[in-house]
Amino acid sequence: MSLTTLAEQLDVLAAQANAHINESDESITVSNLCADATLEILATCLGLGWGCSAFDEEQTPTEPSNIVEDFEPFRVTIRKPDRPEETLDILTSVGILHWLEKGHDAKRWRIAGLSKPLFTQVRIYTGWTLPEAVTAVTVSPTTKSPRALVRESGSLKIVPGDIRPWLLLDQSQFDLDQPFHKTWGVKAFDAIVHTLANEIDPDSHSLIFKGAPKLVLQPPKSTTTTIQEFGVDAFLHLQTAAHWVYENSREAEVKHSLLAMEIARSGRENGPAADYLKANLSTALESAKIAYQMSLSDLGKDTLKSLGDLRKAITEETAKATDATRQTITAVSGALAVGVGLVAARLSTDINPWLISMVMLIATGYIGMIVYSGWSFISLQRGLRKDWQPKLYRFLPQDEYNKMVAAPAEKSEQVFKYSAMIGMGAVIVMFVGVSIFSFVSEPKVNGPKPDHSESKRNESNTAVVIQLNEQLQRLNVPLSAPVPFRKDWISPLPISAESSEVPARP
């Protein structure tokens, strides 16, 4: 007994025997059954090894032997087997319609009897027998919500919140000859058509396209006949248009407006949405692409101008931060030089230590005011960048903005921050050190040095007298007393000009 047989039995009962089917993700409940149909379902479930319970008209569990016409109608509850994670198992056509309308978080939908898989941007639809390795799920990035682009005033939300479940990854997979593909195509057609309009009328649910002139289309009828008449080619054109509009979140708003305007301009009269789009969508899409390229050219000029202004602004900010750093370093160097000069003055003169401390205090306060002024400017510029970035430079991705603006500004801020911290710390240390030194140390004043030239002269005169006395003793000249010293003995004798000539010998 196969799974497809049970699915066909339930679909036939729902279509021909007025059976009511309610399929959840864990079980299937079939009510309003006759005795024969109940026995057939029990036998099929027994052959598959699935759990199944029957209940009579009084909602009392019933054994197969008690299932007779007298206790009709019956209700059968079928328990689905265990399934892998992020998987939804669907057995009946009623269950398919229910879950397509309601939606489910599962990324893999296994459908009984589906022979040709279908891949969308957030989920895949396969049969129950296809291995999981073959059905790897590729989830596309989140795009702009259609509800953010289509105005919808009514309490009933027709526009889907996420268009990705209705966009095909591979358009060649779509086949209208497949029953499930046709069912899914009906729901996808209805969802996509509503996401392309500018507004949904709250009363008639008509599609409004704002252009010149304004276009109002009748809402599509969600039937298999509608999608069959619309055709595969037109449906794939619709898929292409939706892909183009919603492929990028940042560009979706512009593309949506351009396409809606071109759809309104392409035709002449209002009418059914399916007929109008089948005749004019491909032309409108080509025109919208051309208009978008032209808008990109104008936008590119504005973007380049904005980037130039941004570059100029960040260059000026970094230059001002660099000037503040340079001023801080210069002021710190001057304060340190003043401290060294005060130390030298204290060592050489008897200067008041309170005066030294006052001078260093003034220098320290001056450095503090310069540091505070520079940091206040940097903080103000940081706040302005944060406030204006989402208003003027929203077109820049956050990574690009960080690389072009935030990183250079942060680097210049760090240079100023470290320079100010080191400089201020050095000046404070100098202030404390000079103040303590001025009160502890005493000045060293150098007095006049004694003159030893007179003593040296007396010693030399005494030596000359002693030498003369020794020479007189050698000549046997009696000396009753030492010869007193006379200055003219050792002074040069004046020689007259007359006695300067030496007389000749006879």
Rounded Cα distance, 337 and 317, in Å: 30
Residues of the domain holding 406: 303-440
What digits encode the pLDDT tens for the residues 57-91? 888 888 888 888 877 788 899 998 888 888 888 98
Among candidates 242, 229, 232, which has minimal Cα distance to 275? 229
What digits encode the pLDDT tens for the residues 433-458? 888 887 877 665 554 444 455 555 56
Contact 138, 129 (CB under 8 A): no
In a domain, 182, yes or no: no
Rounded Cα distance, 306 and 314, in Å: 12
Consecutive H or E run containing 125: strand 124-126
Non-local (6+) Cβ contacts of 81 within 8 A are 49, 50, 89
Rounded Cα distance, 282 and 234, in Å: 8
Contact 163, 122 (CB under 8 A): no
Q: Write the CA distances from 234 to 193, 228, 230, 263, 442, integer angstroms.
A: 12, 10, 6, 15, 103
In a domain, 200, yes or no: no
DSSP 154: S
Q: What is the pLDDT of residue 298?
A: 61
**Mean pLDDT of successive 10-residue stretches along the chain, which has 506 residues:** 80 82 89 87 87 85 83 86 86 89 89 88 84 67 89 82 90 88 91 91 86 84 84 91 90 90 81 87 88 70 70 80 85 84 80 83 86 85 78 70 80 85 87 82 55 57 64 55 50 46 43
Q: What is the pLDDT of residue 184?
A: 92
In a domain, 97, yes or no: no
Rounded Cα distance, 368 and 365, in Å: 5
In a domain, 333, yes or no: yes
Q: What is the pLDDT of residue 458?
A: 62
Rg (CA), the chain: 53
The encoded tokens of residue 28 equal 């299937």
Biggest distance spanned by C-alpha atoms of the chain: 198
In a domain, 322, yes or no: yes
The encoded tokens of residue 11 equal 């679909």
Contact 169, 120 (CB under 8 A): yes
CA dihedral 465, 471, 477, 478 (to 10 degrees): 50
Torsion angles phi and psi, residue 52, rounded to 5: -150, 140
What sections of 103-178 are H helices per DSSP? none
Torsion angles phi and psi, residue 103, rounded to 5: 85, 160
Query: What is the count of structural domains for the chain?
Result: 1
Rounded Cα distance, 104 and 116, in Å: 21
Non-local (6+) Cβ contacts of 304 within 8 A are none
pTM to 2 decimals? 0.59
Question: Strands 74-79 and 108-111, how do they pair?
Answer: unpaired
In a domain, 24, yes or no: no
Measured between its terminal Cα atoms, the distance across the chain in Å is 178
In a domain, 87, yes or no: no
Q: What is the pLDDT of residue 73?
A: 84
